[in-house]
């Protein structure tokens, strides 16, 4: 971030902070499970505000917002949810921005016999694989990306019957980490966390194999000035550094 951009951020952010502490209701796609907790901790320390976090799949959270859930900021795993909410009149005008682009990986437990570095997507075809965990593509962008990558490599039709669906990409990661599934296609942001790195190994799926996972920060209609400050915090140098550490581009 150059000097002018840093100055603009400081003036915008400081000007948005109210004189008293407030609670901010944030809905966040579950691929942010580890990163968002660090981002929130930094924000709370800096401002004195508190953040009430609700994680989940982007589709389910978006539906809750349309039905009147009182969230103030929505961190979606797909730009399309921002567009839908804008069209429904649920967002503050001009407030949507892309704070990062996610990636997906093939993840296996450390004791797996699969050489994922050598096999890549064909790891899913290994004889030891009986179950494959992915997020439900009906309401999770990471699940749709997983299916797209499998189709791109002509793997999907051969493994479709072995797929188990998590309600979110975080739940899919839990399936494979716990041993309930043999292998998974999950978010790099989860695979990059210390617990997942200690428990297994991953192979980064080329971005060309699936549609871009553009993550959108959305300020919802009628949000408080405190919520605006958190929305802006998502593009602060502190937040950007954390997102980069978890693999967001």
Kindly report, residue by residue over 58-77, the tens digit of the pLDDT. Answer: 999 999 999 999 999 999 99
What's this model's pTM, rounded to 2 decimal places?
0.85
Both 235 and 152 in one domain: the answer is: no
pLDDT at 143 over 90: yes
pLDDT at res. 11: 47
Tell me how far apart the alpha carbons of residues 206 and 14 are, in angstroms, rounded to a whole number.
39
Both 13 and 89 in one domain: the answer is: yes
- Other beta carbons less than 10 A from residue 150's beta carbon: 24
Both 95 and 110 in one domain: the answer is: no
Both 48 and 97 in one domain: the answer is: yes
Structural domain total, the chain:
2
Distances (CA, A) of 79 to 14, 82, 186, 199, 215: 27, 5, 19, 31, 6
pLDDT at 99 over 80: yes
Both 165 and 225 in one domain: the answer is: no
Both 16 and 60 in one domain: the answer is: yes
Q: From 218, 220, 187, select the one nearest 204 (Cα to Cα).
A: 187
pLDDT at res. 230: 93
pLDDT at res. 15: 47
* Residue range 179-233, pLDDT digits in tens: 999 999 999 999 999 999 999 999 999 999 999 999 999 999 989 989 999 999 9
Both 197 and 158 in one domain: the answer is: yes
pLDDT at res. 21: 77
Both 198 and 166 in one domain: the answer is: yes
Domain hosting residue 131, numbered range = 104-204
pLDDT at res. 16: 47
């Amino acid at each position: 971030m150059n000097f002018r951009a840093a100055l603009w951020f400081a003036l915008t952010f400081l000007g948005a902070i109210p004189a008293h502490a407030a609670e901010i209701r944030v809905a966040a796609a579950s691929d942010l499970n580890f990163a968002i907790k660090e981002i929130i901790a930094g924000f709370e320390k800096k401002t004195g505000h508190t953040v009430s976090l609700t994680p989940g799949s982007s589709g389910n959270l978006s539906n809750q917002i349309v039905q009147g859930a009182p969230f103030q900021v929505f961190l979606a795993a797909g730009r399309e949810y921002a567009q839908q909410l804008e069209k429904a009149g649920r967002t503050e005008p001009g407030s949507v921005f892309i704070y990062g682009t996610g990636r997906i990986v093939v993840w296996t437990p450390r004791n797996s016999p699969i050489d994922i570095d050598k096999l890549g997507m064909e790891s899913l075809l290994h004889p030891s694989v009986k179950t494959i965990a992915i997020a439900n593509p009906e309401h999770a962008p990471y699940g749709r990306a997983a299916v797209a990558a499998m189709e791109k490599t002509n793997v999907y039709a051969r493994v479709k019957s072995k797929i188990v669906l998590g309600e979110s990409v975080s739940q899919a990661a839990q399936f494979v980490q716990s041993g309930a599934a043999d292998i998974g296609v999950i978010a790099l942001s989860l695979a990059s966390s210390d617990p997942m790195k200690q428990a297994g190994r991953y192979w980064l799926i080329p971005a060309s194999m699936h549609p871009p996972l553009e993550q959108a920060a959305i300020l919802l209609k009628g949000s408080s000035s405190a919520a605006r400050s958190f929305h802006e915090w998502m593009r602060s140098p502190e937040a950007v550094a954390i997102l980069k550490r978890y693999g967001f581009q």
